[in-house]
Amino acid sequence: MNAAVPMFDHAPRSLVEERVIRPPTIGKIRPGIKVLTRAHQTNEKAVKLYHEMVAAGESYEAIGKVLETSLQLRNALIPKNVPYFVCRRSDFSNSDTADEILKLYGEDRGQGLKLYRFPVMFAFDDWLRNVPNQMAAYTSSGRQYFSEYDRDGKRYCKMYAPVERDARAQRARRSFGGRLVVHRQDDDIPDGICDPHLCPQYQDRKCNLTATFVFAIPEVKGLGLIELPTNSIYVLQKAYSAMQTVSLARGRLTGTRFWLSKKEFEITRIDDNGQAVRQKQMLTVLDADIDLSALLDGAEQNQPALESASRAVALVEFDASSEASDNGPLQHGDANRHDPNEPLEDKRQRMSDLLQRLGLNQPGRQNGFRIYAHHTYGRGWIERVVDVDAMNARLEDALDDPASLDAEIQDAVARKRLTSDSSI
């Protein structure tokens, strides 16, 4: 995954520093459970063994192996969605960490102490380092194929190069610095491009999206981060939108206390007959207890969700009292082009996507956009449906003519600078 993070800011001085270091992890929280298949639920020995190992905190991988070796039951477990996260002792390098997390944030809703909602803090301002993701196909021996983006911006299907043989030693040639990664090029993927529509592994459900949240949990000790995997594109899209929204408002992700929870959504999937089917599913949700309108307005922050150090940061580097235009909010575009019954959250998510496509989510351009938004729509615009619709309409128009929007942003910044200079 694209989670590798340089840990040193100087030239390498040892063999260890030559390689890109990944953030250390101390454990894993899982989004669901595994249960016996319907065919095996009538097997009393399998049921007894399953419940005993679950009660002992064993991993589902270990349970599956024991069922296979002792009872000759292959593929006896299947995933099951539940409204809570699974925090097991066996998934942590220090087993007591799992108990500590449940003690701090677990709830008993009639099924014992479970982890329904808990706070997380991210270590990086780049969302991709916090939620690394890729397409990947696995075999019993590990990853077979995996996707990576190259510098040309295209997504390629990669694989490990075949091990070379040393003719003299009659053995595999030793590889220094890890296995060599190469583009996949065969009859199925001749150009090496990762295209799920043409990929036989994806069509056979052997290659899927894999993503992992990597975070710290407040008050939980340990020299490393905690992982939470997901394979849902819905979860990934919503998490990306939430992070982009906070990044737009604050200019960074670190220092914000986010929350992970489960929520039931009705999603659409295509069945084997090609028909769209609606079904309900519990998905992981990332949110944050922050006053978004206050952040975008540059108002004083006094919410407990932000750490005291965050409160000292100047989120918006201009005076909120003079940010609105003299003639009140201006309307750009057709605010009625969107569904009036669309939730405000979805409108904001679309705005986040538009800002990303226009490059306005970049740190060097965020402040200019904030000035432009307040100059155009006035304070509190992010909470008004009509203004959010108008902004989305303007951003959509800018996809065809980004230079015109850039000119408006520069004009708003120049007006703000003149206003600030005249008040000195």
Measured from the Cβ of residue 354, the count of other Cβ atoms closer than 10 Å reads 19
pLDDT in tens, 166-200: 777 677 777 777 788 999 999 999 999 999 999 99
Each residue's pLDDT tens digit, 78-112: 988 899 999 999 899 999 999 999 999 999 998 88
Q: What is the distance, to the nearest Å, from the Cα of residue 336 to the centroid of all Cα atoms in its chain?
A: 31
Report how far residue 166's alpha carbon sits from residue 328's, in angstroms, rounded to the nearest whole number.
76
Q: Is the Cβ–Cβ distance between 67 and 76 less than 8 Å?
A: yes
The sign of the torsion formed by the CA atoms of 280, 282, 284, 286 equals positive
Q: Which of 85, 78, 86 is nearest to 58 (CA)?
A: 86
- CA pair distance 411, 402, nearest whole angstrom: 14
Q: pLDDT > 90: what percent of the chain? A: 39
For 227-238, write each residue's pLDDT tens digit: 999 999 999 999
Instruction: Write the pLDDT tens digit of every residue in 363-410.
Output: 678 888 888 988 898 877 888 888 889 999 999 999 989 889 999 999
C-alpha 113/C-alpha 167 separation (Å) is: 60
pLDDT in tens, 308-361: 323 323 222 223 333 333 333 333 444 445 666 788 878 887 888 788 788 887
Domain ranges of the chain: 26-116, 316-422
Asked if pLDDT for residue 307 goes beyond 50, the answer is: no
Helix and strand numbers (H, E) in the chain are 13, 16
Which secondary-structure segment (H or E) carries 165?
Answer: strand 165-166
By percentage, how much of the chain surpasses pLDDT 70?
A: 83
Does 306 have pLDDT greater than 60? no
pTM above 0.75, yes or no: no
In sequence order, what are the beta bridge partners of 171? 166
Better pLDDT: 216 or 354: 216
The C-alpha torsion from 101 through 104 and 106 to 112, rounded to 10°, is: 90
Contacts of 45 (CB under 8 A, 6+ apart): 71
